[in-house]
Chain A
């Protein structure tokens, strides 16, 4: 039997070079909005250029569920996927399962990207992923409705609530019964963690766990922020938002049913698309401040591409990553689907700025976005879940923020024993 196997292996290596001409790679990119399509176009362009084929793996929309899917695949040592799109908060969780990309990417290539992201993707000296696009929460608003009712784009959350109320009342009287004030991502998933972190940071309430590992989630400013938003629910924020992810929020806004929306930059290309009922009526700006002495902020999001260590074609997969993260491809993605490049020089590109006016204006937001507490390492998902469950409970009226955040503080202190995560 052994001899037969050895013979087969020898035969395989003999034939392999001729087969290696056309390899098949599998890539897992996102599925929110038009991301799968845009990813496919890019991958196919590479496939055509190199004579290989690329297949897209279908993934859930929710980042948390994606992570669960990848971790099961990788824990089983599966070679079913070669290139994986990973979230900005995952490197600490997944470093073991990715190859080091340093041999494939020179310093000159890495220098073009935002350095904090490159640093974030480096775990124990190993470069596990290349930045693909960056994200931060933005405020979308209906310019036409605000102008019609004499409102200015809000600078604080309080003003947003005020303006929304004025517009809602006037429009309801005029017979628009479906209009709501403000939609965001309120379902108990990673998106709510991002939203709530923005609220708290905009009220100067910190970042759940600070950069030294200390749990800071329970403070008066954070309590004020969460209570403020709980007060909006059922008021200018419809209760249905508590089951919204990115796409539900965008669908409501794009159908013309919401005055304000918090979402990621990808929504810009879609709400201004040819078949969008609100095309040309939408403004976009940095998220409001939490009161006059608060700050404008946004949660740092963003996605990178890494190569699975179980891939049978690591070199080729790295080449695909190189192509997809190149300046040309990042520019194309920004033009057709408003994905923010991670390459700094692109923010001065006139064509790109014309398609996405906010990218130049909001450059500061992207640079100063608030990171999620990735110092918690492999416990990040637990920290995020406990935090958003507390926020979710408060939003659904189950207890006040003061009690719920205090409970979370206790749980997080148990998880990260004395700040040593």
Chain B
């Protein structure tokens, strides 16, 4: 709860230029920095250092067989990646995957959240149950689904055959077209609960009196959803989507476990891994990893500007 006596909150509301902070505020800021320092140092060590090293390797011809012999080559490695059609195949695969799966997750998450928001007996149990897929590590769930997708003894083919939806067993994880469907399905299964929970949290913050007012004005459930709920949900929804998009763009494990090594079914992170560890080309691999980082950063920036998403909150 923001207190009206604090000048910061007041200026945020009015948008007026900030008056100089009071002694208390300065003291609090200092304390915050002191408490944050260990975290920042730890972050710099475990995240900053590898990142900086990757950026450095991107400008060298480093090779895993002899890292000591690497030499500075400027933009050579980056050029190599940008001119490689395989890289662009993986970019296309990754974005297609990210858009399709995040769209489905948002839609399903919204539906589930709306259902869970209704008052009924056993709601708490159901809410906990919905979270189960999210709690399973991706590698484990992907492996599990890989068995279910097996062409000969997989349960998915068995069910579809029994229902008469298909005439013969499909090779879900082998054909590039189908394996894309399979990967999206596993991702949607795993991450929809996450979306549902974020949306549910937002739904529960919505004030009830607006709905009463809408009801008095004669709005039915569908109209009040589109004209009241959805506009109010917009902010949290946009934030939830960007979180999922960031996750989806750096996807690696679902693809790796389900489809294996072909370039046709490889995300950007898979390309970076292949260059680094299978080809021993740390230089080119780092260049592609840096490029992946840049693409995600750029995408996030564009999204936040276009969608006017504020991560700091009002």
For B150, what are the chain A residues with a Cβ–Cβ distance below 8 Å?
240
Q: Is there contact, CB below 8 Å, between B152 and A385?
A: no
Q: Which of B255-297 contact A (CB under 8 A)?
A: 259-264, 273-274, 277-280
User: Known contacts A240-B169, A240-B171, A252-B152: does B65 contact A188 (CB below 8 Å)?
Assistant: no
B176 within 8 A of A: yes
Closest to B173 in A: A243
Complex Cα distance A64/B170, Å?
A: 27
Complexed CA–CA distance, A385 and B264 (Å): 13
B 164-201 to A, binary, CB cutoff 8 A, 1 in contact else 0:
00000111011110010000000000000000000000
Docked Cα-Cα span, A64 to B279, in Å, equals: 10
Say yes or no: is A389 at the interface (Cβ < 8 Å to chain B). yes
Contacts of A72 in B (CB 8 A): 64, 277
| Chain A positions 379-393 with a Cβ under 8 Å from a chain B Cβ | 381-382, 385, 389, 392-393
Contact of B264 among A187, A241, A398 (CB under 8 A): A398
Least CB separation from B260: chain A residue: A187
User: Cβ of B278 and Cβ of A64 under 8 Å apart?
Assistant: yes
Q: Does B66 contact A (CB under 8 A)?
A: yes
**For residues 352 through 389 of chain A, which have their beta carbon under 8 Å from a beta carbon of chain B?**
378, 381-382, 385, 389
Inter-subunit contact B64/A242 (CB<8 Å)? no
Contact flags A35-76 to B (C-beta < 8 A → 1, else 0): 000000000000000000000000000001001100110010
- The reply to whether the CB of B67 lies closer than 8 angstroms to some CB of chain A is yes
Inter-chain contact A68/B261, CB cutoff 8 Å? no
Shortest beta-carbon distance from B154 to chain A in Å: 9
Inside 8 A of B273's CB, which chain A residues have their CB?
68
Residues of B within 8 A of A67 (CB): 277-278
* A68:B278 contact, CB within 8 angstroms: yes
> Contact: B280 with A389, CB < 8 Å?
no
User: In whole angstroms, how far apart are the Cα atoms of A354 and B153 in the complex?
Assistant: 34
Cβ contact within 8 Å between B66 and A243: no
Q: Judge if A134 is at the interface, Cβ distance under 8 Å.
A: no
Q: Are B280 and A238 touching (Cβ within 8 A)?
A: no
Known: A64-B261, A240-B150. Is A186-B174 also a contact (CB below 8 A)?
A: yes
B-side contacts of A96, CB under 8 Å: 65-66
> Is A189 positioned at the interface, with any CB of B under 8 Å from its CB?
yes
In the complex with contacts A178-B152, A238-B169, A381-B279, A189-B261 CB distance below 8 A:
yes
Given contacts A240-B169, A243-B174, A381-B279, contact A257 B259 (CB under 8 A): no
Q: Flag whether A239 is at the interface (Cβ < 8 A).
A: yes
- B76 within 8 Å of A (CB atoms): no
Contacts A378-B65, A389-B263 given; indicate if A239 touches B171 (C-beta within 8 A).
yes
Say whether chain A's binding surface is mostly helix, strand, loop, or mixed: helix
Q: Name the residue of chain A whose CB is nearest to the CB of B161.
A: A177
| Residue in B174, B261, B264, B280 whose beta carbon sits within 8 Å of that of A71 in the complex | B280
* A171-192 contacts to B (CB < 8 Å): 178, 180, 186-189
Chain B residues with Cβ under 8 A from A94's Cβ? 65
User: Known contacts A75-B64, A243-B173, A398-B176; is A188 also within 8 Å of B280 by CB?
Assistant: no
B253 lies within 8 A of chain A by Cβ? no
- Report the separation of the CA atoms of residues A240 and B259 in the bound assembly, to the nearest whole angstrom: 11
A238 cross-chain contacts in B, Cβ below 8 A: 151-152, 169, 171
Residues of A within 8 A of B279 (CB): 381-382, 385
Indicate whether A240 sits within 8 Å of B174 (C-beta atoms), given known contacts A68-B278, A180-B152, A382-B279: yes
* Contact yes or no, B260 A188, CB < 8 A: yes
Q: Does A118 contact B (CB under 8 A)?
A: no
A169–B280 alpha-carbon span in the complex (Å): 47
Q: With A178-B152, A385-B278, A396-B175 given, is the CB distance from A71 to B64 under 8 Å?
A: yes
CB-nearest residue of chain A to B265: A188
Q: Are A392 and B277 in contact, with the CB atoms below 8 A?
A: no
List A contacts of B176 (CB < 8 A).
396, 398
Contacts A238-B152, A240-B151; is A381 near B261 (CB within 8 Å)? no
User: Are A68 and B175 within 8 A (Cβ)?
Assistant: no
Which residues from chain A contact B263 at a C-beta distance below 8 Å?
188, 389
Indicate whether A378 sits within 8 Å of B280 (C-beta atoms), given known contacts A96-B66, A239-B151, A240-B150: yes
Contacts A385-B261, A385-B278 hold; do A242 and B174 have CB atoms under 8 A apart? yes
Give the CA-CA distance A72 to B282 in the complex, in Å. Answer: 11
Contact across chains for A239 and B264 when beta carbons are under 8 A apart: no
| Pair B171/A242 contact, Cβ less than 8 Å | yes
- A93 vs B63: C-alpha distance when bound (angstroms): 11
Q: A389 CA to B259 CA in the complex, in Å?
A: 13
CB distance from A236 to the nearest CB of B (A): 14
Complex Cα spacing A296 to B179, Å: 35
Residues of B within 8 A of A187 (CB): 174, 260-261
How many angstroms between the C-alpha atoms of A233 and B65 in the bound complex? 38
Q: How far is the CB of A171 from chain B (nearest CB, A)?
A: 14
Whole-angstrom distance between the Cβ of B276 and the nearest chain A Cβ: 8
Cα–Cα, bound, A385→B176 (Å): 17
Asked if B152 and A257 make an inter-chain contact with CB atoms under 8 angstroms apart, the answer reads yes
Nearest Cβ in chain B — how far from A125, in angstroms?
18
Q: With the chains together, A189 CA to B263 CA distance in Å?
A: 11
Contact B280 A93 (CB under 8 A): yes
CA distance A239 to B166 in the complex (A): 15
A407 vs chain B, min Cβ distance (A)? 10
Neighbour of A241 across the interface among B174, B262, B274, B280, CB < 8 A: B174
How many angstroms from the CA of A75 to the CA of B277 in the assembled complex?
A: 11
Cα–Cα, bound, A396→B262 (Å): 11
CB of B278 within 8 A of CB of A381, answer: yes
Residues on B with beta carbons closer than 8 Å to the beta carbon of A180:
152
Contacts of B278 in A (CB 8 A): 64, 67-68, 381-382, 385
Contact (Cβ within 8 A) A243 B264: no
A239 touches B64 (CB 8 A): no
Docked Cα-Cα span, A12 to B173, in Å, equals 55
Residues of B within 8 A of A243 (CB): 151, 171, 173-174, 179, 259-260
Known: A389-B262, A392-B264, A398-B264. 4 other contacts (CB 8 A): A239-B170, A241-B174, A252-B152, A382-B278
Q: CB within 8 Å of A: which residues of B?
A: 63-67, 150-153, 169-171, 173-176, 179, 259-264, 273-274, 277-280
Question: Would you mind naming 20 contact pairs between A and B with Cβ atoms under 8 Å apart?
Answer: A71-B64, A94-B65, A178-B152, A187-B261, A188-B262, A188-B263, A189-B261, A238-B151, A238-B169, A238-B171, A239-B170, A239-B171, A239-B175, A240-B152, A243-B151, A243-B171, A382-B278, A389-B263, A396-B262, A398-B264
Closest CB pairs A-B (n = 8) = A240-B151, A242-B174, A239-B171, A68-B277, A188-B262, A240-B171, A243-B174, A188-B261
